[in-house]
Structure 1
């Protein structure tokens, strides 16, 4: 048996003190400190007053530390991401593709399928961002590779694709949505110029849907033309990603989203690119040169590219900006994505019988002190 002592344990609706988290591969029990004896355990983590939280699930991440999901390198990039992500508190993630040519995307999906067996942060599947997008709001995606929505070439990868981002206006009818629902693929609306009325029609009359990085790569909210952003904020079926690096989404807009969507309607993501965890300088995203300076990643024309923020930072930003409770904010990076991806029976919260995926956070700056995946310590902050 293993244990974490002297931590502030973040549960679904409360933070408890004086408790010990006991685990092996799965969580065994959370017991009072007075009932615990160190001799009961073969491995002990002293949280030293830090927060003990479920491992973070990042459902939208392109890359970090110099590598990218789309790198044609026989899987080395994915393995590198799996190794480094626990240092940011991420224990599970969806490597995210971009709007490349079909063959490049298919090769990437093949590599993601193979990388699921690697050690480190666990790959739950793939998030396909495009190629079924609107060029008017392509963002950092390449316009020449965008296509109308077509399920036929996704079907062979239905076992690995868990989320697909598309513009609703690329749909000929709702058959595509029904096919995705049948295969357990979440449809996320984004990179879109769809009208408010059309967006609401698709959302209200379809299954649960996601919104890819709310407010970004879509028409700005306007009081006469609310667009996709307005529909996302009003429709209870829409669960909204937010990139809370304080650049992609202003702190006030983060608070607005929390006020309207609440705890259950928000998913915190990084949408990070290979420049994340790297110094400023020239980088790359989707085959395009990106210039990174002072925490901002932009194309040559000034277009905002992916973020360079890590998961623990976006969580801390959202906590500060909104005044939400810590259990609420942690839920947006843990149980919310786990539930929508259908894996909440195994991960996403600190409950007896669930896999022992958890993180010890410094209670002041949310620095990652330790990360455990399936009961194994995979990251420990270096001490000097």
Structure 2
């Protein structure tokens, strides 16, 4: 057994002082410090006054450290997983790009294999399929040559792997595809889309319940044409991804989204590409050249191409930009994403019986230690 002492434990609703977190592979108990009587077999971890939180969950990340989900290198996903604990992430959804369909299916096969493997880092919970079912008008950094109409046949061999599908619901009727995804317990997300308000509402009514990197790769909110953003704000159950690097979304809109949707319906994502954790330079994303400079990743055309941020950095910046309490803030990187992809029964909060996915960080969000299923996978 292990026990974390001298930590400030962040639950879903409060910060606990003078408590001890006891765990093995799962959370055992949270007890008063003066009542804690460790046995001889206990490993004691001194948090030294730092915060102890549930591990961060990134449901939209393409890569980091020079590796990408679409890499045909079978070791790439394991290397991404090994790097993520240093930024507090204990589980994630490797996210695909719009490329030739067999290439996407090959990536899903690798994700399936990596999901089953017992690695020494963050846990792969499945895949986020971002494309190829997108709008050419709002393709962003996706390759329009491979954009296509949704076809359930494309993905029916990978229902055990896919957790989220991003699509543009406008044009030909996509509602049958949405409904079949929902029947397979796959979250359908609107993104890279030119949908108007009515089309977005119809997609939500059909079973879509999520928005991919809200505000980005979609029409702006307009007082006469509310679009996807207006429909998401008008539909309480819909969750909204948010990239917080102050490049993708202005702090004013970050605050507005949190005020209107709340921390139980906003999910921080990194949308990170392979240059994350690396220096400025030339990289690629989905087969397209990307220039990374001063914290921004862009195609030669100037289009933003994912990000180089991390959930650690996003959480630190969101604390600066908003008035969220720490438990509210941490929910946006833990319990809310866990609920969205159906794993809140085992992940997302420090509750008895849940997986001991734990992140210890300082007041400036520097990661001190990370545990996955009770195993130490990172120490600063």
TM-score, normalization: structure 1? 0.97
Aligned to 2:82: 83
* Preserved CA contact (<8 Å) 2:200 2:231: yes
Aligned to 1:251: 251
Aligned to 2:91: 92
Taking the aligned partners of 1:273 and 1:35, their CA distance within structure 2 comes to: 46
Taking the aligned partners of 2:367 and 2:172, their CA distance within structure 1 comes to: 42
Aligned to 2:362: 362
Deviations 1:43-91 (A, max 9, x none): 1111111110000110000000111000011x21101011000101110
- The structural deviation recorded for 1:171 is 4.6
Deviations 1:189-208 (A, max 9, x none): 000000112111221x2335
Aligned to 2:140: 139
* Preserved CA contact (<8 Å) 1:69 1:96: yes
Taking the aligned partners of 2:89 and 2:125, their CA distance within structure 1 comes to: 12
User: Cα gap change, 1:43/1:170 in structure 2, threshold over 3 Å: closer, same or farther?
Assistant: farther
In structure 1, the gaps of 5 or more residues are: none
- The structural deviation recorded for 1:319 is 1.6
Aligned to 1:165: 166
Taking the aligned partners of 1:208 and 1:197, their CA distance within structure 2 comes to: 13
Deviations 1:276-307 (A, max 9, x none): 00011111111111111110111001111111
Deviations 1:234-265 (A, max 9, x none): 21121000000111111111000001001211
* Preserved CA contact (<8 Å) 2:178 2:208: no
Taking the aligned partners of 1:356 and 1:264, their CA distance within structure 2 comes to: 22
User: Cα gap change, 1:84/1:128 in structure 2, threshold over 3 Å: closer, same or farther?
Assistant: same
* Preserved CA contact (<8 Å) 1:58 1:311: yes
Q: Trace 1:224-243 onto structure 2 (pairs within 5 A).
A: 224-243=224-243
3-state SS of paired residue (1:319) = helix
Question: What is the CA RMSD across the aligned residues, in angstroms?
Answer: 1.1
Taking the aligned partners of 1:206 and 1:326, their CA distance within structure 2 comes to: 35
Count of residue pairs brought into register by the alignment: 378
Q: Trace 1:182-193 onto structure 2 (pairs within 5 A).
A: 182-193=183-194
Aligned to 2:45: 45
Aligned to 2:129: 128
Aligned to 2:100: 101
- The structural deviation recorded for 1:173 is 4.2
* Preserved CA contact (<8 Å) 2:150 2:174: no
Aligned to 2:54: 54
Taking the aligned partners of 2:72 and 2:172, their CA distance within structure 1 comes to: 30
Taking the aligned partners of 2:221 and 2:92, their CA distance within structure 1 comes to: 30
TM-score, normalization: structure 2? 0.98
Q: Trace 1:15-30 onto structure 2 (pairs within 5 A).
A: 15-30=15-30
User: Cα gap change, 1:261/1:86 in structure 2, threshold over 3 Å: closer, same or farther?
Assistant: same
Taking the aligned partners of 1:376 and 1:34, their CA distance within structure 2 comes to: 26
* Preserved CA contact (<8 Å) 1:208 1:237: no
- The structural deviation recorded for 1:341 is 1.2
Aligned to 1:6: 6
- The structural deviation recorded for 1:118 is 3.4
Taking the aligned partners of 1:282 and 1:41, their CA distance within structure 2 comes to: 50
Aligned to 2:330: 330
Deviations 1:112-165 (A, max 9, x none): 000011311100000000000001000000001000111111111011011000
Taking the aligned partners of 1:298 and 1:173, their CA distance within structure 2 comes to: 31
- The structural deviation recorded for 1:268 is 0.6
- The structural deviation recorded for 1:324 is 0.6
Taking the aligned partners of 2:118 and 2:259, their CA distance within structure 1 comes to: 39
* Preserved CA contact (<8 Å) 1:149 1:171: no
Aligned to 2:68: 68
Aligned to 2:280: 280
* Preserved CA contact (<8 Å) 2:190 2:208: no
- The structural deviation recorded for 1:37 is 3.5
TM superposition outliers: structure 1 runs of 4+ over 6 Å: none
